[in-house]
Amino acid sequence: MGTITINGKKYEFTNEKNILTIIRNAGIEVPTLCYQPELSVFGACRLCTVEDDRGRCFASCSEEPRDGMVIYTHTERLRKHRKLIVELLLAAHCRDCTTCDKHGKCKLQHLAYQLGVNQVRFQNHREEMPVDFSSPSIVRDPNKCVLCGNCVRACSELQGIGVLGFAHRGTDAIVTPAFNRNMADTNCVACGQCRVVCPTGALTIHHNMTEVWQALGDKNTRVVAQIAPAVRVAVSEAFGLPKGENSIGKIVAALHRMGFDQVYDTIYSADLTIMEEAAEFLDRVANGGTLPLMTSCCPAWVKFVENEYPEFKPNISTCRSPQGMFSAVLKEYYRDEANAQGKKTVVVSIMPCTAKKMEAKRPDYHTFGEQDTDIVLTTKELIRMIDAHGINFEDLPSETCDMPFGLGSGGGVIFGTTGGVTEAVLRRLTEGKDPNELATIAECGVRGREGIREFTVPYNGIDVKICVASGLANAREVLESIKSGEKSYHFIEVMACPGGCVMGGGQPINGTKQVRRETRRQGLYNADRELVFKRPHENPLMDVFYNGPFKDKTHELLHTSHHE
Amino acid sequence: MLDASYYRKTDEIISRYVRDARSLIPIMQDIQAEYRYLPAELLSYVAKEIGITEAKAYSVATFYENFSFEAKGKYVIKVCDGTACHVRHSTPVLEALWKELGLSKKKHTTDDMLFTVETVSCLGACGLAPTMMVNDQVHPSMTPEKALALIEELRGKG
**Nearest residue to A86 (alpha-carbon basis) of A51, A49, A52:** A49
Region B109-132 average pLDDT: 91
Per-residue pLDDT tens for A260-297?
Answer: 999 999 999 999 999 999 999 999 999 999 999 999 99
Mean pLDDT score, A90-112: 94
Predicted confidence (pLDDT) at residue A394 exceeds the cutoff of 70 = yes
Question: In what helix (H) or strand (E) does residue B4 lie, and over which residues does it extend?
Answer: helix B4-14
Instruction: Give long-range contacts, CB 8 A cutoff, 24+ apart: A462-466.
Output: A462/A285, A462/A490, A464/A490, A464/A491, A465/A292, A465/A489, A465/A490, A465/A491, A466/A422, A466/A490, A466/A491, A466/A492, A466/A493
The CATH architecture to which B75-157 belongs is 3-Layer(aba) Sandwich (3.40)
In chain B, how long is the greatest CA-to-CA distance? 50
Per-residue confidence (pLDDT) for residue B53, from 0 to 100: 95
Spatial contact of B26 and B13, defined as CB atoms under 8 Å apart? no
Q: Judge whether B40 is closer than 8 Å to chain A, CB to CB.
A: yes
Q: Is B44 on the interface with A (CB under 8 A)?
A: yes
Phi, psi of A502, deg, nearest 5: -60, -25
**Does A179 contact B58 at a Cβ distance shorter than 8 Å?**
yes
In A259-376, which ranges are continuous DSSP H helix? 267-286, 299-308, 322-333, 337-340, 355-360
Supply the CATH classification number for the domain B4-63. Answer: 1.10.10
pLDDT at residue B62 above 90? Answer: yes
Interface contact flag, B58 A162, Cβ < 8 Å: no
Question: Minimal Cα distance from B48: which residue of A?
Answer: A308
At residue A258, does pLDDT exceed 60? yes
Q: How far is B158 from chain A (nearest CA, A)?
A: 33
Q: Considering chain B, what percentage of its residues have pLDDT values greater than 90?
A: 76
Question: A287 at the B interface (CB within 8 A)?
Answer: no
Domain ranges of chain B: 4-63, 75-157
CB pairs under 8 A between A and B: 40
**A163 near B CB under 8 A:** yes
For A179, the closest chain B residue by CA position comes to B58
Residue A25 reports pLDDT greater than 90 = yes
Residues of A in contact with B55 (CB under 8 A): 152, 162-165, 176-178
Per-residue model confidence (pLDDT) at position B21: 94
Q: Average of pLDDT values for A67-72? A: 96
Q: Which residues of B touch A156 (CB under 8 A)?
A: 53
- Per-residue pLDDT, averaged over A463-471, amounts to 95
Nearest CA in chain A to B44: A178
| pLDDT recorded at residue A326 | 96
Which of A164, A179, A472 to probe by mutation at the B interface, max B CB count within 10 Å? A179
In this prediction, what percent of chain A has a pLDDT beyond 90? 87
A265 forms bridges with which residues in the sheet? Answer: A227
Mean pLDDT of A538-546: 90
Calculate Rg over the CA atoms of chain B: 18
Residue A1 pLDDT class (50, 70, 90 cuts):
confident
* Helix, strand, coil distribution of chain A in percent, nearest 5: 45, 15, 40
- pLDDT for res B41: 94
Q: What is d(CA A433, CA A171) in angstroms, rounded to the nearest whole number?
A: 66
**For the segment A131-146, what is each residue's pLDDT rounded down to a tens digit?**
999 999 999 999 999 9
B62 contact residues in A (CB cutoff 8 A): 167-169
The 10s digit of each residue's pLDDT in A370-382 is 999 999 999 999 9
Alpha carbon of B47: minimum distance to chain A alpha carbons (Å) = 11
pLDDT on residue A549: 87
| Contact list, A164 vs chain B (CB under 8 Å) | 55
CA distances to A27, A33, A146, A513, A537 from A47, in Å = 17, 7, 13, 20, 54
How far does the CA of residue A161 sit from the closest CA of chain B (Å)? Answer: 8
Distance from CA of A205 to the nearest CA of B (A): 22
Mean pLDDT across A334-351:
94
B72 band by pLDDT with thresholds 50, 70 and 90: confident
Comparing CB atoms, the residue among B40, B47, B63 nearest residue A169 is B63
Do A165 and B63 count as a contact with CB atoms less than 8 A apart?
no
Kindly determine whether residue B40 and residue A166, on different chains, have CB atoms separated by under 8 Å: no
Mutate one of B28, B62, B64 to test the A interface: name it (highest A CB count within 10 A).
Answer: B62
Find, among B130, B133, B128, the residue nearest to B154 by Cα: B133
B1 in reach of chain A (CB within 8 A)? no
Q: Which residue of A has its CA nearest to B63?
A: A168
Chain B within 8 Å of A168 (Cβ-Cβ)? Answer: yes
CA A1 from centroid of its chain's CA atoms? 36
Q: Do B44 and A178 touch (CB under 8 A)?
A: yes
Contact list, B57 vs chain A (CB under 8 Å): 178
Contacts of residue A209, Cβ cutoff 8 Å, sequence gap at least 6: A377, A381, A384, A385, A388
- Confidence band, pLDDT 50/70/90 cuts, at residue A432: low
In contact, A222 and A334? CB cutoff 8 Å: yes
Q: B56: which chain A residues are within 8 Å (Cβ-Cβ)?
A: 162, 165
Q: What average pLDDT is seen over chain B?
A: 92
Q: Does B66 touch chain A (CB under 8 A)?
A: no
Q: Which residues of B touch A152 (CB under 8 A)?
A: 55
Q: Do A161 and B53 touch (CB under 8 A)?
A: yes
Banded pLDDT at A433 (limits 50, 70, 90): low
- What local confidence, expressed as pLDDT, does residue A562 receive? 52
pLDDT number for residue A344: 94
Q: Check CB contact of A108 with chain B, cutoff 8 Å.
A: no
A160 lies within 8 A of chain B by CB? no
Give CA–CA dist A278/A272, Å, rounded.
10
Give the residue from A362, A37, A325 showing the smallest Cα distance to A190.
Answer: A362
Give the tens place of pLDDT for each residue, A482-504. 999 999 999 999 999 999 999 99
The helix/strand/coil state of A379 is: helix
pLDDT at A563: 52
User: Which of A:140-159 have CB within 8 Å of B?
Assistant: 152, 156
Nearest CB among A161, A176, A178 relative to B57 is that of: A178
Q: What average pLDDT does chain A have?
A: 94
Residue of A nearest to B69 (CA): A179
Quote the percentage of chain B above a pLDDT of 70. Answer: 99
Contact across the interface for B53 and A169, Cβ inside 8 Å: no
Contact in structure between A478 and A472 (CB atoms under 8 Å): no
Shortest distance, CA A154 to any CA of chain B (angstroms)? 14
Domains and CATH numbers, chain A: 2-74 (3.10.20.740), 86-205 (3.30.70.20), 210-550 (3.40.50.1780)
Q: Give the one of B40, B44, B59 whose C-beta lies nearest to A167's C-beta.
A: B59
